């Protein structure tokens, strides 16, 4: 016969074990919150769709993208496995008539597009409409002899294409091109002093890379406007960039940590990560679920955001990995 005290002890041990399980499973379970705006922007989605169609339709020739289609290694690997090859300027002469070349969302300088068309291959222009509009704006300002201050990243595909369009505009009008690239307030002050020792010309404009930091652009604009009162300021940052940065600000107020998902070579993803670090105690930039830092699995509320080149399935896999940890 079981003694009463053994039965009572067993009952309480069982009760405490069940209580601890309940707290671990339900009270300490992680809450995952996605940013309201994240992942593929319209321009990248258009370029990806263009490449998809090209791979489906061209069965006789090679399909290329001029430069990496998007700044995301996982997505690029998927396209590579389907037969997409990356083309650069040095290899344009290798393109054949039966081939197809996709121009990525960042766009290209006019001379590159003309060189591709001369090969006789099918050229599909996947340039983001907002980037294309910026190319035209800069070309028009250059034709009219304006000094263009441009906020952006040196050697970024979009910046190279826009500067190329401005150069062509200046050449067509027989004008000297003044295209001044700045990426910080310090750059702006330095370039101003270098350009203007005495008189400041009236025809100056400030334009931006579409994925540039909204906050930093406004700071640069304020400094230059103080020095150049007649400066024309065009906030040509893509609305999707505004939305992602604003959504991240809201997200950081609700969570203990933020995972920024995207390519580590992506300008807009790195800007999201920089903002996340400034707003949240725990922030990490990852390209895939396997890179989630260990300390994130112990947080109660984790926020997810993603760069403009991050596919939906990559975001889903990160969320699934976090959810399955409990």
CATH of residue 86's domain is 3.40.50.11270
Whether residue 220 is predicted with pLDDT greater than 90 in this model: the reply is yes
pLDDT given for residue 325 in this prediction: 73
pTM above threshold 0.85? no
pLDDT given for residue 26 in this prediction: 42
Q: Tell me the longest C-alpha to C-alpha distance in the chain.
A: 107
Q: Which of 111, 127, 143 is the last residue of a domain?
A: 127
Contact present, 50 and 122 (Cβ < 8 Å): no
Q: 150: closest CA among 162, 140, 139?
A: 162
Q: Is residue 274 part of a domain?
A: yes
Q: Is residue 4 part of a domain?
A: no
Same domain, 273 and 211: no
Q: Which of 84, 105, 127 is the last residue of a domain?
A: 127
Show the CA angle centred on residue 240, arms to residues 252 and 273, nearest 5°. 40
The secondary structure of 202-257 as a DSSP string is: S-EEEEE-TTS-HHHHHHHHHHHHHH-TT-EE-----HHHHHHHHHHHHHHTT-SE
Q: Is residue 17 part of a domain?
A: no
Instruction: Output helix, strand, coil percentages for the chain, rounded to the nearest 5.
Output: 50, 15, 35
pLDDT given for residue 49 in this prediction: 93
Neighbours of 294 (CB within 10 A): 6
**pLDDT one-digit tens code per residue, 87-133:** 999 999 999 999 999 999 999 999 999 999 999 999 999 999 999 99
- Catalytic site residue from 20, 36, 57, 158: 158
pLDDT given for residue 320 in this prediction: 95
With b for 16 or more beta-carbon neighbours within 10 A and e for fewer, the 104-121 pattern comes to bbbbbbbebbebbeebeb
Strands 282-286 and 232-233: unpaired
Same domain, 147 and 113: no
Q: How confident is the prediction for the chain on average, in pLDDT?
A: 90
Number of domains in the chain: 3
Same domain, 65 and 78: yes
Q: Is residue 2 part of a domain?
A: no
Same domain, 100 and 168: no
- 4-8, 33-37, 251-255, 322-326: least confidently modelled range: 4-8
Same domain, 143 and 57: no
Q: 294 an active-site residue?
A: no
Whether residue 27 is predicted with pLDDT greater than 90 in this model: the reply is no
Q: Is 174 left (phi over 0), alpha (psi -120 to 50) or beta?
A: left
Q: Is residue 121 part of a domain?
A: yes
Whether residue 68 is predicted with pLDDT greater than 70 in this model: the reply is yes
131 CB-near residues (< 8 Å, 6+ apart): 43, 105, 106, 107, 158, 161, 162, 210
- 56-60, 230-234, 316-320: least confidently modelled range: 56-60
Q: Percent of the chain having pLDDT more than 70?
A: 91
H-helix or E-strand spanning residue 134: helix 129-143
Contact present, 57 and 63 (Cβ < 8 Å): no
Same domain, 270 and 280: yes
H-helix or E-strand spanning residue 146: none
Q: Is residue 22 part of a domain?
A: no
Q: Is residue 206 part of a domain?
A: yes
**What gap in Å lies between CA 103 and CA 84, rounded to an integer?**
13
Same domain, 260 and 296: yes
Contact present, 305 and 35 (Cβ < 8 Å): yes
pLDDT given for residue 3 in this prediction: 56
Q: What is the CATH number of the domain that holds 288?
A: 3.40.1010.20
Q: Which of 127, 147, 175 is the last residue of a domain?
A: 127
How remote is the C-alpha of 157 from its chain's centroid? 12
**What gap in Å lies between CA 168 and CA 33, rounded to an integer?**
46
Same domain, 210 and 263: no
Same domain, 152 and 115: no
Same domain, 167 and 189: yes
Q: Is residue 9 part of a domain?
A: no
Contact present, 314 and 273 (Cβ < 8 Å): no
Same domain, 149 and 217: yes
Q: 106: closest CA among 154, 49, 162?
A: 162
Q: Which domain holds residue 184?
A: 130-233
Same domain, 134 and 229: yes
Q: Percent of the chain having pLDDT more than 90?
A: 76
What DSSP designation does 306 have?
Answer: E
Whether residue 4 is predicted with pLDDT greater than 70 in this model: the reply is no
């Amino acid at each position: 016969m079981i003694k009463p005290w053994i039965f009572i002890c067993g009952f309480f041990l069982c009760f405490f074990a069940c209580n601890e399980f309940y707290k671990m499973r339900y009270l300490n379970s992680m809450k995952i919150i996605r940013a309201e705006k994240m992942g593929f922007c319209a321009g990248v989605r258009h370029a990806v769709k263009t490449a998809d169609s090209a791979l489906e339709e061209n069965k006789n020739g090679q399909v290329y993208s001029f430069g990496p289609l998007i700044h995301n290694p996982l997505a690029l690997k998927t396209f590579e496995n389907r037969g997409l090859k990356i083309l650069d300027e040095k290899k344009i002469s290798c393109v054949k008539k039966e081939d197809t070349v996709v121009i990525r969302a960042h766009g290209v300088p006019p001379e590159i597009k003309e060189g591709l068309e001369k090969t006789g291959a099918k050229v599909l222009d996947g340039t983001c409409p907002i980037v294309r509009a910026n190319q035209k704006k800069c070309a028009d300002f250059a034709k009219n002899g304006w000094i263009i201050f441009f906020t952006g990243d040196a050697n970024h595909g979009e910046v190279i294409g826009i500067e190329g369009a401005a150069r062509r505009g200046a050449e067509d009008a027989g004008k000297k091109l003044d295209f001044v690239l700045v990426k910080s307030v310090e750059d702006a002050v330095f370039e101003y002093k270098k350009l203007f020792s005495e008189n400041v010309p009236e025809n100056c404009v400030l334009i931006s890379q579409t994925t540039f930091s909204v906050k930093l652009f406004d700071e640069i604009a304020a400094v230059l406007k103080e020095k150049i009162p007649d400066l024309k300021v065009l906030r040509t940052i893509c609305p999707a960039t505004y939305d992602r940065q604003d959504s991240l600000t809201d997200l950081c107020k609700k969570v203990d940590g933020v995972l920024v998902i995207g390519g580590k070579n992506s300008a807009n993803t790195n800007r999201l990560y920089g903002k996340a670090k400034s707003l949240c105690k725990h922030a990490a930039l990852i390209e895939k679920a396997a890179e989630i830092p260990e300390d994130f699995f112990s947080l109660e509320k984790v926020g997810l955001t993603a760069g403009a080149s991050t596919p939906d399935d990559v975001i889903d896999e990160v969320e699934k990995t976090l959810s399955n940890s409990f």
